[in-house]
Structure 1
Amino acid sequence: MLISLTSKAQNFSALWEGHFSYYNIKDVVQGNDKIYAASENVVFSYDLITNELQTITTVDGLSGESITTIEYSETYESLLIGYENGLIEIISGSDNEVLRVVDIRDKETISPVFKRINHFNEHNGLVYISTDYGISVYDLDRLEFGDSYFIGAGGSQIVVKQTTIFNNSIYAACGSNNAVKKALLSNPNLIDYQQWQTLNNGNFLAVQSVEGNLYAVKSDNGIYQIINDTFIGLFTYPNQPLDVKEANGSLIITTQSSVFVYDSSFLLQATASGNQEYNTLFSSATISDEHIYIGTSDFGVLKTEITNPLDYIVIRPDGPLRNNAFKIEAGDNNLWVTYGEYDQFYNPYPLRTYGLSHLVDDEWNNIPYDSLLTARNLTYIAINPLNPTQTYISAFFNGLLEINDDIATNLYDQNNSGLESTQFPNTTYTDLRLGPLKFDRNGLLWSMTCFVVRPLKSYNPSSGQWQSYSFEEIIPNPFGDELGFSDLEIDTNGTKWTGSFFNGVIGYNESGSRVKRLYTQEQNMPSKSVKALAIDNRNQLWIGTEKGLRVLYNTSNFFDEPSVEASEIVILDDGIPKELLSNQFITDIKVDGSNNKWIGTLDSGIFYFSPDGQQTIYHFTKDNSPLPSNTISDISIDSQNGRVYIATNKGLVSFLSGGSKPEDELKDAYVYPNPVRPEYNILGANDLNNINNGVKIKGLTKNVNIKITDIEGNLVAEAQSKVNSRASQANYNFAIDGGTAIWNGKNLRNNIVASGVYLILISDLDSFETKVLKLLIIR
């Protein structure tokens, strides 16, 4: 018995943006003059008339879970989405409203391993849902569940792959040697397993009716026509059929290498197969008009003609190569994404050859592996601050890849650089496990290499000079005393900080060749395994471990202080002192222009804290945001526009936080929108964290005072850096976040100001530089 539990999903499009991959397609259907395609956890539509592409992602309200099947209802003009975990979502209306149906997902009496949605079959307003436990019936008109059918022996739960309606009977293709089950649709007692008749034997993958004919596909790769409950063999496919559906009176069978289109009498109309240009695996297919639309694992949807299925057109929205990004790096409206990966013990095998993705000017340039000079397992990214068109990427097997203007130009390894390949004891096998990268303020590229005596190295792109630095004082045996390095940061004193697996935080300063570690319980470290590091604007080191968070407040005396200890952050939770992020597995830490901290976790989403960690500004999870997963892989902030990119194991999203990096001078400061027109409707909002509201002043230096007056000189609003923060609990009407200030249009009496010209007086409190801006408000 399923009790109808539905909810409307929230649309997050105001501040969030999705950056999902549409290369790997799970299912393709047609309806309403559109082709709908589901990739791993999002969908898109292709308008057959206008050729317009439209995406529907977690930003629009989708769950972000793994999609297994989709179906379009022409009667109700709705798209049904089925998921691996039993969730169902129904998309309808011109604004793609998402209705979430959680009954199957939340049903405690059904094991989570049996909740997979395999197929939707709509008939007379009822949807027969094939699952790994049986069949459930959903009423699309009333938006509620009816009966569920457990049709195995003794009423047990069995896998049902697909159902169809034929001659007033319902047929179910079943796994686990349960053959095909049949029952009269008019039977009021279908919940009784004894009302279901068993036809044939073995495992069946699909059953489909097509204009007066009934077909079934068995796990022996054979397709059969069912006549008077007798199975007549028609054909045996070289590969197992993955998708069987009816469209426009035709039967479409999809295997991993071919698509077969038959008429209702099983006469072959067309066969489409892969070719040298599109060497990929097929997953599903449908037809519309004179074309076949094929879901693939590598190219999105391929479109070809039924009468001549030789040439293909790619149909796919813009997006990165894959959803499981390993590392990301943002800057100057650019974003680089790698997919190299290694496990928690720094094992890179099997080696990944996934290519790279580069978002530039809001368009994705995906660079395939065969254009990357054979560099495998690409991981960390470093953009040259002195030459933003030059990017370096570490290959956790091959060395250092140099890319200029999106073209791979050099691969540095043990043969042509100062990098060292690992030489494992008692073997001749070598590889070059290059990990974290970081540019310093002088344009030197610093890197960490695993399993070598001198793991820390610097490279000068201008001169080509390499330098190596030894950690032998604390890591005598590079093969037994350390597995790998997780992060690399450089503070204002030039000290290089890296996280390690066995040795906690390691600090190195080439001035005096000093090296030291922070890793024991006596030093207040919760774990020796450090996963993330960040130097904040006060030169404090934030440390993320697999068992919690620590801060090293005094980095300057790290080498001189005999008993260095890290500090936990203690907060008051309902008046009770608690350690911030106690026992949390922290995967990344980033600092924004206001010195606020973004902290990603393994299973609890992402946190946004005030500079001292005492206030939680945001805690985003997959339940309250467009995050497709609570597993955060990496975070990167574009300091120019305040956009925070968040990589998860199920996709990439970005959040417009509104802050920005402070500038060195005020000369380029500006205010927008200007003028403020009535149709903008941006004044009066109390939440300054919503960057879509309020008047913004950008291009500020790091320590300013701003006064806003009317044309007669009367003070209207005032804010000062480090005092009036957007995240403050004081709920300011005017606040400064790094290089950006936001004013909600209210005066000192908390009333929205009248129409008129306003002066914005900006004073740098350190350099005494000033700037005056004018703002016109029309109400």
Structure 2
Amino acid sequence: MYKKLVLFFICITPFLNYSQDFSALWEGHFSYNHIKDFSQGNNKIYAASDNAIFTLDTQTNEIDELTTVHGLSGETISTIYYSEAFQLLVIGYENGLIEIAFDNDENILTIVDIIDKPTIPPTDKRINHFNPYQSVLYISTNFGISVFDLERLEFGDTYFIGNGGSQIPVTQTTIFNDNIYASCMDGNGIRKAQISNPNLIDFQNWTLINSGNWVAIETQIDKLYAINSNRRIYQIINDAFTERFFYSDLPLDLRADNGNLVVTTQNNVFVYDSNFTVVSQVNMDPLYNTKYTSATVDADYIYVGTVDFGILKTPLSNPTVFEEIHPEGPLLNIPFSVEAEPNGIWVTFGEYNFFYNPYPLNNRGFSHLRNDTWINNKYSEVFDAKCLNEIAVNPFKNNQAFISSFFSGLIEVNDDVPTVLYNESNSGLESLILPTDPNYKDLRVGASEFDSNGLLWTVTSRIDNPLKSYNPDTNQWNSFSFTDIIPDGFGGGNLGFADLVIGNDNTKWIASYKFGIIGYNENGGNPLIKAVYREDENMSTELATAVALDNRNQLWIGTFRGLRVLYNTSSFFTDDNITVDEIIIEEDGIAKELLFQQFITDIEVDGSNNKWVATNDSGVFYFSSDGQNTIFHFTKDNSPLPSNTITDVSIDDSNGVVYIATSKGLVSFRSGGSSPFEDLSKAYAYPNPVRPNFNIVDDKVKIKDISENVNIKITDIEGNLVAEAQSRTNQRYRGYNLEIDGGTAYWNGRNLANNVVASGVYLVMLSDLDTFETKVLKLMVVR
């Protein structure tokens, strides 16, 4: 990927750290629609999106991605710079972090000098601009200017150039006539100093040449230009300012490319020659309703960064035809809810806050990854439905999905096309009723789930009959009251419902804001309803945030303050003294509550009955079926998670891919597990044959599509036992040579003596312990 320089500095510079490449098991699903900055070099265009980079080879048109999966931090990018001389890309972030990606190397260098500086307020550490000069970078920040040596990979001096040596926001620097110029905001004007002065750390060596607010300054060959916040560009001659042009919108970006001066506003790009003559002007194309952010120019084309369409490439000589360029990805990097399906994932970006308040309302559309292709429906295509959240895919019509809107109702989607918006006028859905304005419409539809009969169940907040069922085949709606638990749906204090899961007995389990977990069963027309939320029921809080039923019909409950389990769900409505339990684990010889006081955002159960538990600020956990063993704990420090705030998790049971939605983007982890099958008819082993170039010990042979309760024996052709495993005994992650994870078993090629087996034919004998069905697979190993 990128080339690494001067390795020995990792030992002598304490602020340097190399990040790990996670691409073997992880995949990033980032949006590249919003371009923050550009850089050029070695026939490539480098484009920065919110928290990821992509490169465009201008000769081959190949696109490569650089994300958290390759070692980036996932923080919000503010500016980038590529150095041809040192063959590296420097990435600056809004929080002051700097990362360096080297050509032809998989490591990312992380530099935390600025972010760890205690004398600089966190709000002032933003990296605004990189200006290369000889072998150093002048880094413009919201506190001043820092100098970074690209050859030695270390920081030099920091210049606080405000009056009295104060910290002031510097937007950009440039070198002109042996002087360094700095454009500054907050009324700090433009300041300059002699570049050869060895004592630029002394603020008295900097001269104020003009007051006011300056957004950018740049050198174009032998001329110097600066842009003021008054939307005017000035040429500076002998420190005198001459106005050259007044823009209708505030310029956002000023740079010099290939002898041209490029000015970008939200609606236009202006390219000037050395005489300040416009040689090309890009206007807004009606086919691309967006805003421009920045632009760069090569010999023949202008590359325009946009908010919504990545790069728009257009000819320099006739900028009227546009080519949209960016890697495939979802609409945005703020996934709120995800729903996996075989070989795909649905994503929404709407949101409501901790108190189930959707305001200010957002207009964001949804995305669908299907067979490695992203299909994006923008807000204009979803009937103006706002705050889209939960997704339910029809298990009987896999081309149909329903998406909840926490303001507008429910959208039906067929073949990736929104077809109907259900609201109070055409369905059984209801708006909340404001006492002060009974005509106000606000349908807060949230959690949704299909049952085994093909009925869609949803919950709507702030009404008396929040539970709704809908039959897509008959268009029939039914409503169910919660007034036995919540007497006043609007004013009773229950602000919303977080989650919904349906049991085999058709009990609906619902996580609520005020009444913990609510269980509801129609019971043949004599409905049963009950809630668990009180302290004497061992609930840590009344605020439930997640709910999941595992393969043993045990109810796992996530709350604002920890985890609870209802082990006996069958007696929920009949037991007058129902209680839930915390999970007690032993840690360093001390008994502790699992996830004590953690804010849990989601719980998912995989094919092995293991639990994925998402948290609001501690990443995501993967626990054994009983919660006693932590198999994985992923955070942004040890994985490609771009944030420790996990908004949702969903599992593709067909292949074991776990999709993890965070506050800063979507990633997926190939756990390898899958759901078990009802029988052994489709069981197979791969790779088969196992060839010499296959790393059998680490990559392992997979025995796929096995049943839930199975015994597996591997023997050589003479019948000698090589390995054996049994469901619920030799489970994965416990270090056995043959391990079972749901519908998949893994063999590392070792025998009972822990030696890698020799070449030969091996028999994989499968026995279902419940049905007594058997199957024998032949596996060829070539060493």
Short-chain TM bin: over 0.9
Matched, 1:491 2:495: no
Matched, 1:506 2:512: no
| SS state at 1:118 partner | strand
Report what 2:467 is aligned to.
Answer: 456
Look up the equivalent residue of 2:145 and give its one-letter code. Answer: I
- Deviations, residues 434-480 of structure 1 (Å, cap 9, x unaligned): 11111111211111112222211212222222222111111111111
CA distance in 2: counterparts of 1:206 and 1:415, whole angstroms: 53
Report what 2:445 is aligned to.
Answer: 434
Match of 2:161 among 144, 151, 170: 151
Match of 1:526 among 529, 540, 547: 540
Report what 1:628 is aligned to.
Answer: 642
CA-CA distance at 1:422 after TM superposition: 2.2
Q: How does 1:567-586 map to 2 (within 5 A)?
A: 567-586=581-600
> Are the counterparts in 1 of residues 30 and 332 from structure 2 also a CA contact under 8 Å?
yes
Report what 1:266 is aligned to.
Answer: 276
Match of 2:476 among 465, 470, 486: 465
CA distance in 1: counterparts of 2:278 and 2:429, whole angstroms: 59
Match of 1:772 among 763, 772, 776: 776
CA-CA distance at 1:573 after TM superposition: 1.2
Matched, 1:91 2:101: yes
Report what 1:658 is aligned to.
Answer: 672
CA distance in 2: counterparts of 1:417 and 1:270, whole angstroms: 54
Report what 1:252 is aligned to.
Answer: 262
The two structures have a TM-score, normalised by structure 2, of 0.97
CA-CA distance at 1:350 after TM superposition: 2.7
CA-CA distance at 1:115 after TM superposition: 0.8
Report what 1:684 is aligned to.
Answer: 697
Report what 1:703 is aligned to.
Answer: 709
CA-CA distance at 1:561 after TM superposition: 0.7
CA distance in 1: counterparts of 2:221 and 2:367, whole angstroms: 46
> Are the counterparts in 1 of residues 433 and 490 from structure 2 also a CA contact under 8 Å?
no
CA distance in 2: counterparts of 1:466 and 1:165, whole angstroms: 70
Q: How does 1:376-775 map to 2 (within 5 A)?
A: 376-427=386-437, 428-481=439-492, 482-511=494-523, 512-681=526-695, 683-685=696-698, 693-728=699-734, 731-775=735-779
| SS state at 1:397 partner | coil
> Are the counterparts in 1 of residues 464 and 490 from structure 2 also a CA contact under 8 Å?
no
Q: How does 1:48-447 map to 2 (within 5 A)?
A: 48-95=58-105, 97-427=107-437, 428-447=439-458
- Deviations, residues 589-630 of structure 1 (Å, cap 9, x unaligned): 100000111011111110111111111111100011000000
Report what 2:4 is aligned to.
Answer: none
CA distance in 2: counterparts of 1:587 and 1:94, whole angstroms: 39
| SS state at 2:115 partner | helix
CA distance in 2: counterparts of 1:434 and 1:93, whole angstroms: 49
CA-CA distance at 1:4 after TM superposition: 5.8
Look up the equivalent residue of 2:732 and give its one-letter code. Answer: R
CA-CA distance at 1:96 after TM superposition: 5.1
CA distance in 2: counterparts of 1:727 and 1:540, whole angstroms: 23
> Are the counterparts in 2 of residues 4 and 144 from structure 1 also a CA contact under 8 Å?
no
CA distance in 2: counterparts of 1:386 and 1:137, whole angstroms: 61
CA distance in 1: counterparts of 2:430 and 2:172, whole angstroms: 56
| SS state at 1:680 partner | coil
| SS state at 2:444 partner | strand
Q: Percent identity?
A: 58
> Are the counterparts in 1 of residues 252 and 293 from structure 2 also a CA contact under 8 Å?
yes
- Deviations, residues 532-555 of structure 1 (Å, cap 9, x unaligned): 111111111111111111111111
> Are the counterparts in 1 of residues 337 and 391 from structure 2 also a CA contact under 8 Å?
yes
CA distance in 1: counterparts of 2:394 and 2:772, whole angstroms: 32
The two structures have a TM-score, normalised by structure 1, of 0.97
Aligned length: 768
CA-CA distance at 1:570 after TM superposition: 0.9
> Are the counterparts in 2 of residues 3 and 103 from structure 1 also a CA contact under 8 Å?
no
Look up the equivalent residue of 1:406 and give its one-letter code. Answer: D
> Are the counterparts in 2 of residues 208 and 244 from structure 1 also a CA contact under 8 Å?
yes
CA-CA distance at 1:99 after TM superposition: 1.3
> Are the counterparts in 2 of residues 610 and 727 from structure 1 also a CA contact under 8 Å?
no
**Structure 1 segments of 4 or more deviating over 4 A?**
none
Report what 1:690 is aligned to.
Answer: none
- Deviations, residues 478-512 of structure 1 (Å, cap 9, x unaligned): 11122111100112222111011111110011113
| SS state at 2:697 partner | coil
CA distance in 1: counterparts of 2:84 and 2:694, whole angstroms: 38
Report what 2:49 is aligned to.
Answer: 39
CA distance in 2: counterparts of 1:569 and 1:390, whole angstroms: 38
CA distance in 1: counterparts of 2:485 and 2:643, whole angstroms: 38
> Are the counterparts in 2 of residues 666 and 771 from structure 1 also a CA contact under 8 Å?
yes
| SS state at 2:693 partner | helix
> Are the counterparts in 1 of residues 313 and 323 from structure 2 also a CA contact under 8 Å?
yes
CA-CA distance at 1:3 after TM superposition: 6.3
CA-CA distance at 1:175 after TM superposition: 1.5
| SS state at 1:522 partner | helix
> Are the counterparts in 2 of residues 533 and 543 from structure 1 also a CA contact under 8 Å?
yes
Q: How has the CA–CA distance of structure 1 residues 364 and 229 changed in structure 2, closer, same or farther, with 3 Å as cutoff?
A: same
- Deviations, residues 408-432 of structure 1 (Å, cap 9, x unaligned): 2222222222222222224221222
| SS state at 1:483 partner | coil
Report what 1:689 is aligned to.
Answer: none
CA distance in 1: counterparts of 2:753 and 2:59, whole angstroms: 55
> Are the counterparts in 2 of residues 421 and 430 from structure 1 also a CA contact under 8 Å?
yes
CA distance in 2: counterparts of 1:144 and 1:484, whole angstroms: 52
> Are the counterparts in 1 of residues 21 and 106 from structure 2 also a CA contact under 8 Å?
no
> Are the counterparts in 2 of residues 29 and 285 from structure 1 also a CA contact under 8 Å?
no
Report which stretch shifted further, 403-412 or 254-263.
403-412
| SS state at 2:443 partner | strand
Look up the equivalent residue of 2:711 and give its one-letter code. Answer: N
> Are the counterparts in 2 of residues 28 and 294 from structure 1 also a CA contact under 8 Å?
no
Root-mean-square deviation (CA), in Å?
Answer: 1.3
CA distance in 1: counterparts of 2:710 and 2:13, whole angstroms: 58
> Are the counterparts in 2 of residues 328 and 647 from structure 1 also a CA contact under 8 Å?
yes
| SS state at 1:194 partner | helix
